[in-house]
């Protein structure tokens, strides 16, 4: 799945580049309206297909945070228990979180608001991500405005497999099989085609931004 990270710069076409932060609802459609690049429009198995449908039906919402509290020793934001840090970027960090009401896991990106003011690229990224729903693009489900903490919590789809490859300190990795390369390339093209149809450019395609789930999608 294609992932947008702290360094991503996602822009619309020139006649929309002056839009304010958290762009208007009509910017892009929030549905997966294309077929996979291989033409079958099917997930790899029934379990993956059910999770895909659930992911596509989930609507984006904006909410305010309530005072954080401890749940079994973990700090919480609203119904999300923050379990551990799984990534650190130039504009914040990403934590693995558990929804204590539904028992679902999510990835929550925590961004200090000073970065939203200083870097408009992040605001555009958030504004566009909340409208996207595609089986091969990591989804943004909720933005939680933490007024007291002066930061923004972005609740995103958690992809448990991590990056497509892990590079060592020499920039090398174990090679993928030809079958997997073809499969991942078809899925990548499917996601990029969806973005292109809605005049969005990712501009940061690299192994760290291509995530694989437990079904190798």
Q: Is the pLDDT of residue 31 over 50?
A: no
Token pair, residue 62, equals 């904006």
Model confidence at 177, in pLDDT bands (50, 70, 90)? very high
CA angle 214, 200, 161 (to 5 degrees): 10
Out of 160, 204, 208, 213, pick the active-site residue.
204
The answer to whether 204 is a known catalytic residue is yes
Lowest-confidence segment of 11-20, 119-128, 164-173 by average pLDDT: 11-20
Of the listed ranges 37-46, 87-96, 164-173, 200-209, the one predicted with least confidence: 37-46
Q: What is the pLDDT of residue 118?
A: 72
Residue 41 region by backbone torsions, left for phi larger than 0, else alpha for psi between -120 and 50, else beta: left
**Residues above pLDDT 90, as percent of the chain:** 23
pLDDT score of 182: 93
Q: Is the distance from CB of 58 to CB of 131 less than 8 angstroms?
A: no
Residue 162: phi and psi, rounded to 5, are: 80, -170
Residue 141 scores a pLDDT above 80:
yes
pLDDT (mean) for 117-132: 78
| Range 14-209 classified under CATH 3.55.50.30 | no
What pLDDT was estimated at residue 98? 94
């Amino acid at each position: 799945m294609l992932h947008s990270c702290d360094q991503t710069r996602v822009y619309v076409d020139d006649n929309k580049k002056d839009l304010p932060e958290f762009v208007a609802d009509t910017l892009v459609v929030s549905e997966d309206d294309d077929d996979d690049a291989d033409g079958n429009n099917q997930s790899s198995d029934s379990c993956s297909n059910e999770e895909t449908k659930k992911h596509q039906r989930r609507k984006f919402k904006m909410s305010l945070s309530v005072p954080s509290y401890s749940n079994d020793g973990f700090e919480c934001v609203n119904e999300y228990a923050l379990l551990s840090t799984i990534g650190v970027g130039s504009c914040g960090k990403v934590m693995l979180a558990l929804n204590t009401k539904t028992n679902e896991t999510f990835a929550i990106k925590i961004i200090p608001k000073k970065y939203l003011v200083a870097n408009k690229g992040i605001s555009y990224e958030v504004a566009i991500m909340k409208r996207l729903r595609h089986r091969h693009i990591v989804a943004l489900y909720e933005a939680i405005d933490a007024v007291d903490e002066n930061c923004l919590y972005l609740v995103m789809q958690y992809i448990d497999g991590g990056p497509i490859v892990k590079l060592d300190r020499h920039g090398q990795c174990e090679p993928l099989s030809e079958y997997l390369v073809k499969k991942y390339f078809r899925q990548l093209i499917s996601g990029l085609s969806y973005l292109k149809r809605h005049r969005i450019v990712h501009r940061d395609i690299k192994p760290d931004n291509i995530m694989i789930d437990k079904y190798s999608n």
